[in-house]
Amino acid sequence: MTVSLIVGVGVGGALAGYHVPSPLALLCQIGMALAAHQAVEMTFDGGFSSTYRCQQPGCAFVARVTTNNAGERRRWQEIATDHPHNDWP
Ligand SMILES: [Zn+2]
């Protein structure tokens, strides 16, 4: 969250130099702060992702788990294992 605030404040400071109207600058600050927050979350929280993809031609079953929650990961592994075309080891 700290990184997001730094990015937001930094963008605001940069835009102030270009005389951007403050409501627009505020929106840009919020947007950049949210984007930075999302990037940090994806890097550190969701960085350990697993993808289960069905190998059967014509089947589009894909389960992508991006949480570190052990129970949630286990639940999705079971869903992938229960898939009817499952031939994974
Ligand atoms: Zn399938």
User: How confident is the model at residue 30, as a pLDDT?
Assistant: 92
Do 33 and 61 share a domain, yes or no?
A: no
Do 54 and 39 share a domain, yes or no?
A: no
DSSP state, residue 48:
S
Cα of 15 to ligand 1 centre, how many Å? 50
Do 7 and 38 share a domain, yes or no?
A: yes
Tell me if 7 is assigned to some domain. yes
- What are the structure tokens assigned to 6, written together? 């730094």
Per-residue pLDDT of 30-55, as tens digits, reads 999 999 888 887 777 655 677 888 88
Cα of 57 to ligand 1 centre, how many Å? 8
User: How confident is the model at residue 88, as a pLDDT?
Assistant: 55
Q: How far is CA 46 from CA 1, 30, 39, 43, 50, in A?
A: 15, 22, 10, 6, 10
Tell me if 86 is assigned to some domain. no
Tell me if 33 is assigned to some domain. yes
Tell me if 60 is assigned to some domain. yes
Per-residue pLDDT of 54-74, as tens digits, reads 888 899 988 888 777 788 888
Please give the distance of CA 4 from its chain centroid, rounded to a whole number.
15
Q: Give the domain extent around 60.
A: 50-81
Q: Which residues are 41's β-sheet partners? A: none
- What total of structural domains would you count in the chain? 2
